[in-house]
Chains A and B, each alone.
Chain A
């Protein structure tokens, strides 16, 4: 109680003295910078922590190295609960997050936790969603695919790497809604363990369509095995991905990005909040990070600080609505 009241005072003080805030940003430096990866070593969040940590170290944004702590379990829920319950006042810790985090928050899959219990610091890139079919499929574009689903939902099975209600599934449902399919629950989605397995099943002919991320699809597009019908980006992706048509230009105004970013404890000091927002922003803008993004098939997604908070809030709200519609949550 006392500490939280003190925090409110500190916050009020910070707000009353707007001029002091940027100065404070310069004053704060974390003594033991730490990044929590809510997954085991080798997973996506682990790589996010390690790569950002390496870039921050090389750019000398933090003193020494960013220590990576793996805290696996509950699809990120264990780490979320740990930060909310035990590390709420820490100024030195950031946590890797992605669309999976906001999806689970929206669906109440982190029991007792909500998105406003932490501070959302910034995104470092996004992997846009793609919808594809096998090379020998008669379907030529997104419109044809969605017409087919609309006419007979049992005729198309979508394969994706996430569980039902997960991001790969939701992307299909967003498109189905735009296509005018009233009962999106009829759309068939088959969950596999990761995009690779889903892709194998598409190539093997067990399923008719693939839903995944652009980076997963690239190798198979190059080899000619996969036909990308649409990428769910606001505009055409740069570089190697520029051949993918967007859903938007085909009349389906759907964007869906599997973003990667970070959150920090809800009770972190304003100075440390400013420090981390600034450090992430500088990392994001560096040439080094641009190379890493290219290597990992990440597209630009520039949200920082308050803007990122709003972005996550909007995404949580959208997913919550959709999950209610498919009956995943009440």
Chain B
């Protein structure tokens, strides 16, 4: 087995004291960066590039440091999602849907542990997928032209119905709002700025990071300010039981094992496609899991499977995104784009020949991924108890810290005070939406996925000279269309027959969404 020899060589490269130390540092930094709202894997990696530069690291150790940060951030994102209902980065957004309700039920420890294990499962198997399937997966990535991407995003939106709220109309309204926000900025297919009002800051569009920090973190601060007096009293209640168990019961592990498996597969394939990425991975993983398993209407109310699936999904897509990067030299996500730029300055030419020309870099990196992943699991499980204690911090101390981190991280990324103001505006919007019990998750999904969907539709129409039939031109596109239509219609039709009386569930569910 040639692959195993290569991998063994990789381990020989990665298992030096220096590299292990770098992986360790990267894992810790990554976890922290991931957990902080606003800072995600892409900017985490970008911020650390100067460090790798100034340390004068050669290619392999530099990559080990940066990919450890990458994987670490994918782990870390879930922490604030679960504890504070504030996603640490955009792929962790889906984890808020069930993670935060779990924490509210006093199961924060379980949620953190399950999601940690799910993260491990996701990235562990995705790394194996990277080892064995990379060459054949390239063929899959090449199958996706603009028409197929459009159908894929359509599938994502088709499964959106009822995802984040029991009230379909409100979820749809929120998604439409996100789609509208996604239109802002220079339109790549004509070069004309849209809805920018001559404001140069809006030419690049609204950065979803600004939107996400505003809608979640800053909105949380506003809600706190509004309820200042009332909340304190309630919070002083039974503090000690809120953190939950740090080791999940075996039954919960058993229950979520299938979710982790499915999430891994969905996430990995979403990651492999350049132009899809981790957010789509976790989103589809959650969507499918809910479609498949939401028999008793437990999703969105603290179902551990709703935590396991998206976490496995987003970590698996991080591994999947490395497939096009290593095998094709094309970034599959924002983070891998930064990694690629880094590779080039280290005199490693990314491209289809990377595996042949720089086997030591590639296999050293893959070995480092395994090491980093195991390190992250070992680091994360005992730390569950520590993380969960965040809940013991009185909200009046926690919220100012959240506000401070939000401002610093948004300003730190772009260095623009305009973005900070946009963030506050989004905070107000988020607060308003909450008052009206409109879920905020679909807004972000609209921003994240809407743009990509529109752009791919228009690319296809340019190529086909406006012929709409080109959208159904390949078997893959037709399959995706059928899945999308099925995913949209089946719950509506099936719901008529199998659901309990609508009125009851709706009320219950809405009470939950409110806060």
Interface residues of A (CB under 8 A from B): 40-44, 46-47, 50-51, 54, 68-75, 77-78, 81, 107, 109-111, 154, 157, 163-166, 188-194, 196-197, 199-201, 203-207, 215, 218-220, 222-223, 225, 292, 295-297, 328
Contact = CB atoms under 8 A, between A and B. Distances in A.
Contacts of B53: 50, 54
Interface stretch (B234-242, B244-252, B411-419): B411-419
Nearest to A103: B191
A286 B125 CA distance: 47
Given A109-B203, A206-B146, A220-B352, A196 B331 contact: yes
Given A164-B189, A218-B351, A225-B352, 11 more contacts: A42-B45, A42-B341, A73-B414, A74-B202, A74-B203, A111-B200, A163-B189, A188-B463, A193-B188, A204-B141, A295-B345
B485 interface: no
B186 A188 contact: no
A196 B274 contact: yes
Contacts of B351: 218-220, 222-223
B492 interface: no
Interface in B327-380: 328-331, 337-338, 340-342, 344-347, 349-354
A157 B189 contact: no
Given A164-B188, A196-B331, A222-B353, A72 B416 contact: yes
21 contacts: A42-B49, A42-B342, A46-B46, A73-B419, A74-B204, A78-B200, A107-B191, A111-B200, A154-B465, A163-B191, A190-B146, A190-B462, A191-B188, A191-B455, A192-B459, A200-B274, A207-B463, A219-B349, A219-B354, A220-B352, A296-B344
Contacts of A193: 188, 275
A44 B341 CA distance: 8
B47 interface: yes
A218 B144 CA distance: 23
B353 to A, nearest CB: 5
A41 B463 contact: no
A42 B416 contact: no
B307 to A, nearest CB: 30
Given A199-B330, A219-B329, A219-B352, A188 B45 contact: no
B43 A196 contact: no
B145 A206 contact: yes
A68 B46 CA distance: 13
Interface string B213-229: 00000000000000000
Contacts of A296: 344-345
B415 A191 contact: no
Given A194-B337, A201-B145, A222-B351, A188 B331 contact: no
B43 A40 contact: yes
A75 B200 CA distance: 9
A225 B142 CA distance: 13
Interface string B16-50: 00000000000000000000000000110111011
Interface of B: 42-43, 45-47, 49-50, 53, 141-146, 186-193, 198, 200-204, 274-275, 324, 328-331, 337-338, 340-342, 344-347, 349-354, 413-416, 418-419, 455, 459, 462-463, 465
Contacts of A206: 145-146, 463
Given A157-B462, A165-B191, A78 B337 contact: no
Given A73-B414, A192-B459, A204 B349 contact: no
Contact of A69 (B188, B337, B415): B415
Contacts of B344: 215, 295-297
A68 B351 CA distance: 29
A328 B201 contact: no
Contacts of B146: 190, 201, 206
B353 A194 contact: no
B418 to A, nearest CB: 7
- With most chain A CB atoms within 10 A of its CB, the pick from B274, B351, B352, B455 is B351
A164 B190 CA distance: 5
Contacts of B46: 40-42, 46
A186 B47 CA distance: 43
B349 A73 contact: no
A223 B191 contact: no
B186 A72 contact: no
Contacts of B465: 154, 188
Nearest to A294: B347
A200 B346 CA distance: 23
- With most chain B CB atoms within 10 A of its CB, the pick from A40, A42, A109, A223 is A42
A137 to B, nearest CB: 15
Contact of A111 (B198, B324, B462): B198
Nearest to B192: A328
A216 to B, nearest CB: 9
B47 A41 contact: yes
B136 to A, nearest CB: 15
B328 A200 contact: yes
B143 A204 contact: yes
A189 B458 CA distance: 11
Contacts of A74: 200-204
Contacts of B459: 190-192
Given A50-B50, A204-B142, A223-B352, A73 B191 contact: no
A225 B337 CA distance: 21
Contacts of B200: 73-74, 77-78, 81, 110-111
Contacts of A188: 462-463, 465
Contacts of A194: 331, 337
A41 B204 contact: no
Contacts of B328: 196, 200
Contacts of A189: 462
Nearest to B348: A295
B329 A75 contact: no
B201 A78 contact: yes
A197 B342 CA distance: 18
Nearest to B203: A74
A30 B233 CA distance: 57
B353 A73 contact: no
A43 B352 CA distance: 22
